[in-house]
A = this chain, B = another copy of it.
Amino acid sequence: MYTIGQVSQQFNISVSTLRYYDKEGLLPQLKRVSGIRYFSEKDLEALRVIECLKRSGLEIKTICQFMKWCELGNETLPKRKELFEKQKRVVEEEMKQLQKVYEMISYKCWYYGESVKLGSEEYVTPKIPEGLPIHIKKSYDAAHQ
- For residue A14, CB closer than 8 A to chain B, the reply is no
Name the contact of A55 in the complex, choosing from B78, B101, B121 (C-beta under 8 A): B101
Q: How many copies does the complex hold?
A: 2
Q: Does the CB pair B74–A120 fall under 8 Å?
A: yes
Chain A interface (Cβ < 8 Å from any Cβ of B) = 48-49, 52, 55-56, 74, 77-78, 80-81, 84-85, 87-88, 91-92, 94-95, 97-102, 104-106, 108-109, 112-113, 115-116, 119-121, 143-144
Chain B residues within an 8 Å CB radius of A106:
88
Q: Does the CB pair B55–A112 fall under 8 Å?
A: no
Name the contact of A74 in the complex, choosing from B92, B109, B119 (C-beta under 8 A): B119
Q: Does the CB pair B48–A115 fall under 8 Å?
A: no
